[in-house]
Chain A
Amino acid sequence: MDKIIKFFTKIGELKTMPRRGWVIRDIKNPESIAEHTFRAAIMVWVLADSRKRNLNMEKLLKMALIHDLCEVYAGDTTPYDSILPKDKKKRRELLKTWPRFSEAEKKGLAAAKYKKEKAGLEKLIKDLSPKLRNEIRSLWLDYEKGLSPEGRFFKHTDRIESFLQAAEYWKTYKNLPQKPYWIQARELHDDPILLEFIEQINKEFHKNIKPKT
C-alpha cells in the first residue's frame, strides 16, 4: 500500500505544476497540468458522445486521465523550447509565430520528447501491479502514436483543450498571440466534428473583436 500512496502523492504534484506554454507567455497563475487534464477528460467525454461514433468511452476517459502523468518526471514541454531566446523581447517576437523546423530537426525533437516522456512514465508506474502498469503504458502509447480511433480522437481533443484555454486567456491578455494556435489548429485537425467545434470557438470568442496577432 505504501507504493500506491507514493504513486498518488507523486501524481498529486501535477495539481501545482504550471503548464509551460503559459509560463513562457508570462500568464499569471497559469493553469496546472492537472487542471488541463480535468477539462480534457470532460471534453473528450462530451465531444465523443456528441459525434455518435462507436468509441470506447472507458478507454477514452482513462487515456485522458493518464496522458500527461509522465510529466511528473519528464516535465512539460513546448515546441518552442529548443529555440526559446532568453531575451524577453526576442521571446515575445518568437511566440507570435508557429515554430518551423527542418525535417531532421522535427524527427530529432519528436524522438527526444518521446524518449524523455516514456522514461518518465516508466519511472512513475514501476511499482504498480503488472496489470495496471501495462494498462497505463498501453493507453499512453495509444495516445502518443494514435494507434486506435480513441487514441487519435483524444490526441486531437487534448490539443483543442489547450486551444480553448488560449482563447480564454486572450480575453484577459489581449497581447497573447493567437496566430500560432490557429496555424497549429488548421494544420493539425482533420476530424469534422472537432473542426466544427473550432469554428464555434472562433464565433464565440471573436464575434466582437478579432485578434490581431
Chain B
Amino acid sequence: MDGKIFHITKEKLKELKKEYEELLNFERSKATSEEAPKILESEDINPEFISFQEDIGFLRSRIDELKNILEHHELIKNPPKEKYSIIDLGAKVKIDVDGQKDEFMIVGTLEANPALGKISNESPVGRALLGHKVGDEVVVSSPIKTTYKIKGIKYEIN
C-alpha cells in the first residue's frame, strides 16, 4: 500500500464496494465455521470467489487491497459542460490510428485494460491524448512514429 490515489469510475466503485462487502461477509462466515456461506448461494456472486474458499491468505490480502482502494480513491466525474470537447479522465475517444479506427476510454491505472479499450491516463498514449480536442493529431514516437487523429470525444459517466 503506497498511498496512491486511485481514479475510478462510479461503476467500478460500486463493483469494488460490493466485492468488499461480500468478501468480508465470507471471511466472517469462515471464522464462525458456517458450513455454507450464504454468499456462495447467491446468484449474484462472482463465481471466482469460490476459489478463495480455501485460500484464506489470498482472501485477506484482497480484502486489504479493496479497503486501501476504497479509502484512497477519487471518483472520475464528467467535466463541466464547457470542457466536454477536451479529453480528460473518463472521456471516450474515437480515434484513427494510422488509418485504423478505434475507441478508447481514458481511465485510471486500476481500471486500465487496453484489450477492452480502457487506456490508463498514466500511459504514454493516455498522457499524450489528455487536453486534446476533436481534429487534433497526436504523434507518439520513439522509435517509430504513430499518429492518433482524434475523431470524437464523449462523456458517458453516470
Contacts and interface: CB of A to CB of B under 8 A. Distances in A.
Interface of A: 53-54, 56, 79, 97-98, 100-103, 106-107, 109-110, 130-131, 134-135, 137-139, 141-142, 145-149, 152, 178-179, 182-184, 186-190, 195, 199, 202, 206, 210-213
B100 A187 contact: no
Given A100-B102, A187-B125, A190-B122, A182 B143 contact: yes
A213 B52 CA distance: 45
Nearest to A213: B144
A77 B117 CA distance: 19
Contacts of A189: 123-124
A139 B140 CA distance: 35
B144 A178 contact: yes
B90 interface: no
Nearest to B102: A100
Given A186-B123, A211-B143, A106 B116 contact: yes
**Secondary structure of the A side of the interface?**
helix
Given A134-B52, A149-B2, 17 more contacts: A54-B1, A79-B115, A98-B97, A100-B100, A102-B103, A106-B115, A138-B58, A139-B58, A148-B65, A152-B109, A184-B114, A186-B124, A187-B126, A188-B112, A189-B124, A190-B109, A211-B144
Interface of B: 1-2, 48, 51-55, 58, 61-62, 65, 97-98, 100-104, 109-110, 112-117, 119-126, 140, 142-144, 146
Contact of B65 (A107, A147, A190, A213): A147
B2 A54 contact: yes
A109 B1 CA distance: 33
Which 10 A-B pairs give the minimum distances between C-beta atoms? A190-B122, A190-B120, A138-B58, A134-B55, A190-B123, A186-B124, A100-B100, A100-B102, A137-B51, A134-B54
A103 B144 contact: no
Contacts of B58: 134-135, 138-139, 142
Contacts of B51: 134, 137-138, 141
B117 A103 contact: yes
A106 B117 contact: yes
B143 A107 contact: no
Contact of B55 (A54, A101, A135): A135
B61 to A, nearest CB: 6
Contacts of B143: 178, 182, 202, 206, 210-211
